[in-house]
Structure 1
Amino acid sequence: METRESKRRKEREEQQIRTEKMAKISKGSTQSQLLLTTQRRGSMEDSIKIIDPNIRILDEIRKLQQEMKEARMETKEDIRTACAELREEIKDTRAEIRKDVKKELEIIGKKMDKLTTDLNKTQKEVEQIKERTNILEKSSKELNKQQEEQKRMEWNNELRYREKCIKLRGLTEKSKEDLYERLIPALARYVDITPEEMEMEIDKMFRINSPQNKDRNVSRDVAICFARTKVRDRFIQQSYENKLWIEDMEIKIFKDIPPQIMMSRQKYKPLTRLLKNINIDFRWDRIEGLSFFYQQRRYKIDTIDKANEIEMKLRKEYKENGGKRDYPTKEWRASKNNGTNKEKTVKELERFDPLERTETETDLLNWN
């Protein structure tokens, strides 16, 4: 449509330019012709009438103007028709677009309704799963709590049984050995009683089977269980004062602690090493954790988080003090000549006993 209209516009402009040129030419020619005709009219009255060519040109110009006018009218009519057609096309297109959009919106609305339904269903299922999860977590916590209590009860019973026992390390093994014959005389002399009394105080005596001893090709430890805790305490007390020698061999004496408790104490190993490095005595709790005094305050550690926190605090203060071990500590070992009551000394040894802390180390040291 735009191409045809531009062509017509150019044609009209060209025709107008030609018409103006021809009008100028015809105007000059007409004036000269009229002047010639007037001069001749006086001399030749009966001359033949001559047709001026400019008149023809004027007639052609008028025809051209009429054609241009008709062309303009046709062009206007064509433009009106094209505009009307374009309006109809735009109207139809809008109607189609509205129809398509409405259809798409209906489809999207249906999908959204379906998604909303599915989402609500999913939310309900998630809530049900959460409720079930909470129930399972609660049941699991209760079960873990019961298992923990049962485990602590078993550990406590075993520890209570082993409170009457000690372990001896360093006694070489012999084929078909009789531990009673080898140990009772030396043990009796160690605590200053008769062999008969020593034999009566012993409930049982045996070698402890350990794969580590077999792998390292070292002698197995000897476990001795006494009938009374008091006898065991006498051996623990005596181990601080004198070394035990059997068959020219130095024998180390340790408390008999269950392996489960030993393993649980391993997680506190970084803290216990630090406490030993800065010369702070500590005591293992019966089942879980440890306790110690630091700067006139008692600390009880029963979780790994507390252990990490106090370890960082002690390391920081130790560095601020320039690595000096100037912390106040207490000596809990019994003296040979101080005449302290034996029962009181045993209680103090049980409260802060270095033997207990060495049980968590792989290389158990002999505390004299």
Structure 2
Amino acid sequence: MKLKSGKEIVIQTPKNGREPKEPKDTKDANKDKDKDKEKEKDKEKESKETPTNTTANGGNTTNRRLSIGEDTRMKELLKEIKAIGKKLTEMNEKQDAYQKIAQVQMADLKKEIKEELGVMRKDADTMKEEIKQLQTKNKEDEERQTLTHTRLKTLETLNQKLTVRQEFLETRETEYQLRLRNIKEEENEDIREKTTEILAELLQCTTQYMEEQTDRVFRVNTNFARRNKTDRDVIAQFTRKVTRDEILKTSSKRIICYKDKRVVILKEFPGSIINNRRKYAFLTEELKKQEIRFRWEKDEGLMVTHEGQRRWIKSVEKARRFYKEIVKEREEEKEKNEVQKGKESTRQNTLLIRRDNSYLGYQDQERKNAKEITGPRPEADSEDKEEGEVEEEGQATKEQ
């Protein structure tokens, strides 16, 4: 092998023929070094003994010189081997230090990993417990929701029954009631006396009889009366339904007035029915404009007589369709009327033009007749002559 100085080193193998094994640890390396040192000492002794023997035996001086060169080489080799050994020991010490540090770090990492794993396991256990609690809560909530749904369904059914019952009672009560409008409101008034007198006049009966037939009378507050500051409506409830029907029939035939105002008598309906009828207000207004007859149904909707046919409308969608049909028909009628008006105007214009043309032709004939009677005159040939002058000339010819 070559050294840094450029010299070659021949490594002699031991007598056994085996290569020296590298020390596993620093202790083994030191032992091997001690052995090498002992061997080197033995060799030095042998080298010292060899020249003496050669001289004694009558050898040459060249052998002694060679032995001294070999000794220097061997010393240099020993020094380099010692430096290499020191480096190896330093490297081994560093490796041991690094290994110890690595072992300490690995131990710390293992502890940290174990702690983290313990924390993770605890967290997993807590998460499992929380999930179980949430599952139990979800089950409880589902059970509660089912109970609430069932209760809501029962409440809805009860509410529907109550609304139907309330509507029935309201309709039953309104069957005995009437609404009177345009009765002047006064301070400290006795509304019962006023209504009984008005209804007695209508039916042409005594006030005592009317008082016996009426149950109660009261005024009603409405938004229309508040906004427009008009007199409030009066509701009269009767003991019998027959009297109510009789008053309605007679009010359609006769007119009642109270202090120079016509008293309007109307049938009373419950609030639910009125709210349902408000949905069809757009249709009823159009029907009133076009003077189409209609009648309200008891439950919902209305019956319309259009073009000699009866149509029952019991939903808002049907009402919208029918409204569109009516509006289209009205627009078509308007267009037809406009076309007819245009035709009539053109006829009248043509008649007027014909009359004017006939009148002008008649005037031309008179002028020709006048020319034939008077004879040819220079002034008569001018076209700019006025009609009054032609008539004067005709009169002069007649006098001659």
Q: What's the TM-score once normalised by structure 1's chain length?
A: 0.53
Matched residue count: 261
Q: Does residue 82 in structure 1 map to residue 88 in structure 2?
A: no
Q: CA deviation at 1:168?
A: 0.6
Q: Is the 8 A contact 1:207 1:220 kept in 2?
A: no
Distance 2:205 2:326 in 1: 54
Structure 2 counterpart of 1:31: none
The change in CA–CA distance for 1:173 and 1:322 in structure 2 (over 3 A counts) is closer
The correspondence of residues 253-268 of structure 1 with structure 2, limited to 5 A, is 253-259=265-271, 261=272, 266=275
Q: Does residue 96 in structure 1 map to residue 108 in structure 2?
A: yes
Q: Is the 8 A contact 1:183 1:246 kept in 2?
A: no
Q: Which runs of 5+ in 1 are unaligned?
A: 1-14, 23-54, 302-306, 328-368
The correspondence of residues 29-178 of structure 1 with structure 2, limited to 5 A, is 67-175=79-187, 177-178=189-190
Structure 2 counterpart of 1:273: 281
Structure 2 counterpart of 1:341: none
Structure 2 counterpart of 1:204: 215
Structure 1 counterpart of 2:328: 324
Distance 2:227 2:327 in 1: 39
Structure 2 counterpart of 1:27: none
Q: What's the TM-score once normalised by structure 2's chain length?
A: 0.50
Structure 1 counterpart of 2:33: none
Distance 1:133 1:158 in 2: 36
Q: CA deviation at 1:104?
A: 2.0
**Identity score, percent:** 19
Question: Which secondary structure state, in structure 2, belongs to the residue aligned with residue 245 of structure 1?
Answer: coil
Q: CA deviation at 1:71?
A: 2.9
Distance 1:160 1:173 in 2: 29
Question: Which secondary structure state, in structure 1, belongs to the residue aligned with residue 328 of structure 2?
Answer: coil
Question: Which secondary structure state, in structure 1, belongs to the residue aligned with residue 231 of structure 2?
Answer: coil
Deviations 1:175-203 (A, max 9, x none): 45455654446435546x54479727832
Amino acid at match of 1:72: I
Distance 1:227 1:174 in 2: 27
Q: CA deviation at 1:172?
A: 0.4
Q: Does residue 314 in structure 1 map to residue 320 in structure 2?
A: yes
Q: Is the 8 A contact 1:239 1:253 kept in 2?
A: yes
Q: Does residue 291 in structure 1 map to residue 301 in structure 2?
A: yes
Q: CA deviation at 1:323?
A: 5.3
Amino acid at match of 1:283: W
Q: Is the 8 A contact 1:179 1:205 kept in 2?
A: no
Deviations 1:216-252 (A, max 9, x none): 6543322122343344345445666665433320223
Q: Does residue 221 in structure 1 map to residue 229 in structure 2?
A: no
Q: Is the 8 A contact 1:184 1:198 kept in 2?
A: no
Q: Is the 8 A contact 2:182 2:263 kept in 1?
A: yes
Deviations 1:29-63 (A, max 9, x none): xxxxxxxxxxxxxxxxxxxxxxxxxx99xx99997
Q: Is the 8 A contact 1:184 1:195 kept in 2?
A: no
Q: Which runs of 5+ in 2 are unaligned?
A: 8-67, 332-400
Bigger CA radius of gyration: 2
Distance 2:297 2:180 in 1: 21
Question: Which secondary structure state, in structure 2, belongs to the residue aligned with residue 204 of structure 1?
Answer: strand
